[in-house]
Chains A and B, each alone.
Chain A
Amino acid sequence: MKMSKKTKTVLYILLGIMTLYFLAPFIYMFFSTFKTEAEAVAYPPRFFPEKWLWTNYVDAWRSQEFGTFLWNSIIVTVCTTAGQIIACSLTAYGFARYQFKGKNVIFIILLSTMMIPWDVTMIPQYMEFQMLNWINTLKPLIIPALFGSAYYVFLMRQFLMGVPKDFEEAARIDGANAFQIYYKIFLPILKPQLILVGVLNMLTVWNDYLGPLIFLQDRSKFTLALGLASFKGVHNTQIIPMLCITVVMIIPPILVFIFAQKYIVEGTSGAIK
């Protein structure tokens, strides 16, 4: 289809306006992290800092135990991602490639758990973890994820359903057992979905605020998201350090997204079919 020049101009103007809304706040924030505290709250505000204070980042990072927070975030993110990938792929494989009694009922239960608001389970979960002495440790944030999440199972199962029926027959004739077939044949096929689920989980866990808020108490256990959110309590008037840490915190998700963009776009397409 050909487009007139006028239509194209209108389209680019619209795209430009939307870019302003979605991107300009980040860019403005980034430039502001180099300002002095006085500049950050000056009116009228200025876009660029007068002097580029690179040391703002160092000061912000040192103002609290952000190294510890970062380490906690990394532990939680890495452990849950590994756990989700293993648990969800096993479960999805069972649902997609086997017939068994109760399969449909269990699968419907799986789908309906996605509708349960977190508010309903958070209170008894809190009590459960208290009973297990898990409160104020990273366990409540990690261990449930090792058993998989319904949405990720669903994403992988949809994908595996599309693989031709007689795919594993050859391997079975060769004498491979069920686990070998899963491991050697289906995991490699599932790679794009493994990446998709891995990335989605990384983003969710890295950004999670409510889980850490409820289950963690000591600052030494905080994740980066919780540490950043509790920042204002410590330094009430300081904006610059908060913006610096915010920038640090959003860089990993943005990088991950840019690298994995292809999988997210394709995965979204597969899920709604």
Chain B
Amino acid sequence: MKKKQLIKKATPYLFISPWVIGFLLFTAGPLLLSLIMSFFNWPIIGDSSFIGMGNYVEMFTQDSQFWKSMVLTLKYAAIFVPLNLGIALFLAMLITQPIRGVKVFRTIFYLPAVVSGVAISILWKWILNGDYGILNYLLSLIGIEGPKWLVDPAWALFAVILASAFGVGTMMLIFYTDIKNIPIELYEAASLDGASPARQFFSITLPIITPTILFNVITSMVSAFQQLTLVMLLTGGGPLKSTYFYGMFVYDNAFKHRRLGYASANAWIMFIIILLLTSLVFKSSSAWVYYGTEVKTAKGGKKK
């Protein structure tokens, strides 16, 4: 009898054990180790030595690249997040219109999001080529002389942004499903009251989807900070380190300069900044996110 009780008690823990074991081995363990390493001078080969806050001090006071990469990444995030949010919302509004063939467009807009970053960077590198790229050719047709996108430090960041906006489909889909769930009666009532489509968007759609906007702001912010694949392959961080993002700074410190302790300290600073920014966004959300419980219930009722 006792044994049976024990089994019963252990059952839920057995079910969640796969994730818990994986978490301990591949997340919690490494997380702790990384924190410890950040206080060490830790080369890939050879002995490591404890240096206290040394890595952090060096980063903030001696390494000018740290500040440059940090500012650059913040700048990238400051453009990338609102731009992607805007495009995603715009696309979502387009594909929720009651016209024929929108489903095909939904598929098309989502397609680049399922394609590898490697493929995207090869594709854009070729399109953006300053000598024979088709983008500059198209621009020349309307009388604009395109810049040497990937070679000109003034334009490289813009090229990265252009290529990264290509993967906006995931965010679009999240907006799309949210907008689709808004009860149509709300719009009909507004129409009867003579509200224009623009008015309907700002008074109905936008407030209802603010929780989703919050979600998208946070996820895109986190991904902007970790952007690595695209810059690595598209620009290699150049020209003249004009796209040397923070993610690349960390990667190079670890695997090129082989300073694992220093790179761990870099990564922890990134983690802290992400946490700070996220909590800041969360804090601000009480001012602009609208949790309309009445609407939510109506939505749930309609679906079933």
Contacts and interface: CB of A to CB of B under 8 A. Distances in A.
Contacts of A258: 107
A250 B116 contact: yes
B258 to A, nearest CB: 11
B125 to A, nearest CB: 9
A75 interface: no
Interface string A232-273: 000000010011001001100110111001001100110011
Contact of B178 (A99, A117, A272): A272
Interface stretch (A24-32, A50-58, A188-196): A24-32
Interface stretch (B17-25, B56-64, B78-86, B149-157): B17-25
Contacts of B30: 120-121, 123-125, 128
Contacts of B142: none
* Residue of B27, B114, B247 with most chain A CB atoms under a 10 A cut-off: B114
Given A22-B109, A116-B27, A118-B226, A45 B12 contact: no
Contacts of A26: 111-112, 123
Interface residues of B, number: 90
A258 B103 CA distance: 12
Given A115-B275, A253-B115, A124 B33 contact: yes
Interface in A71-128: 86-88, 90-91, 93-95, 98-100, 103, 106, 109-110, 113, 115-128
B29 A246 contact: no
B27 A203 contact: no
B199 to A, nearest CB: 15
A253 B116 CA distance: 9
A120 B34 contact: yes
Most buried by A among B16, B27, B176, B271: B16
B29 A22 contact: no
Nearest to B250: A119
A18 B91 contact: yes
Given A90-B18, A115-B278, A147-B19, A206 B134 contact: no
B12 A117 contact: no
B264 interface: yes
A120 B98 contact: no
Interface in B153-212: 166, 173-174, 176-178, 180-181, 187-188, 191, 211-212
B255 A214 contact: yes
B31 A272 contact: no
By DSSP majority rule, is chain A's interface helix, strand, loop, or mixed? helix
B119 interface: yes
A125 B26 contact: yes
A18 B105 CA distance: 9
B108 A147 contact: no
B289 interface: no
Contacts of B23: 109-110, 113, 147
Interface string B96-136: 01110010011111111011111100111011000111100
B229 interface: yes
B291 interface: no
B111 A23 contact: yes
Interface in A171-211: 178, 182, 203, 206-207, 209-210
Contacts of A164: none
Contacts of B19: 87-88, 91, 110, 147-148, 150, 153
B26 A123 contact: no
A95 B17 CA distance: 11
Contacts of A1: 98, 187-188, 191
A6 interface: no
Contacts of B97: 3, 11
Contacts of B26: 121, 125, 128, 144, 147
Given A19-B109, A45-B137, 13 more contacts: A26-B111, A45-B134, A88-B18, A94-B15, A115-B222, A116-B31, A117-B271, A120-B31, A124-B33, A128-B33, A150-B19, A207-B119, A210-B229
11 contacts: A87-B22, A91-B20, A115-B275, A123-B254, A144-B22, A147-B21, A153-B19, A229-B233, A242-B122, A246-B122, A265-B177
